Amino acid sequence: MSRYRVLFVCTGNTCRSPMAEGALRALLDGQKIDFIEVLSAGTHAVPSCPPTLHAIEACKTWHGDISKHRSRRISCELLEECDLIFCMTASHFHEVVSLCPEVRDRAYMLKKYPEGGDDGEGVADPIGGSLDQYNTTFLEIGEEIGRMLPDIIAKARKKME
């Protein structure tokens, strides 16, 4: 039985999407949920780059560890393997759907879920910012993930039945 796969997408896959991955993974670990796989990728990622030091530090807020994360670029194959795809901005959403139109019904803007479309508010990129900016971004992402968590778990359980 395959696991339920959740993918977070940003630009370089070194800040926002790895922080989102770390936040969701920490919440799932806290609830002892192991049937959901959490991934992240970037629309313009340079493969194999580590997360920024500030992203690693911000994730520690929820005892998340993304230090071993390495960036990867989105591909249609990766997108097709995922059950839910969360994009940080409208431009990420457009790139995901352009690259792989068949995932449109599984792709959402993070702050707009569960509604579809691209007219919602995005998550600002903290790249180059202070640790305080990263912490603010992490908490913004974490708040959204906390809001969505019951629905993600319910969808995953339904697929596992």
| Domain residue ranges in the chain | 4-156
Model confidence at 149, pLDDT cuts 50, 70, 90, reads: very high
Summary mean pLDDT of the chain: 96
Mean pLDDT over 47-51 rounds to 98
Answer whether CATH 3.50.50.100 is correct for domain 4-156.
no
Give the pLDDT confidence score for residue 123 in this predicted structure. 98
CA 67 to chain centre: 16
What residues act catalytically?
A: 10, 16, 125
- Judge if pTM exceeds 0.75: yes
DSSP 61-78: GGT---TT----B--HHH
Ranking 20-24, 98-102, 115-119, 134-138 by mean pLDDT, the lowest is 115-119
Residue-level pLDDT at 19: 98
pLDDT number for residue 161:
87
Determine the pLDDT at residue 1.
54
Q: And the tokens for 148? A: 């969505």
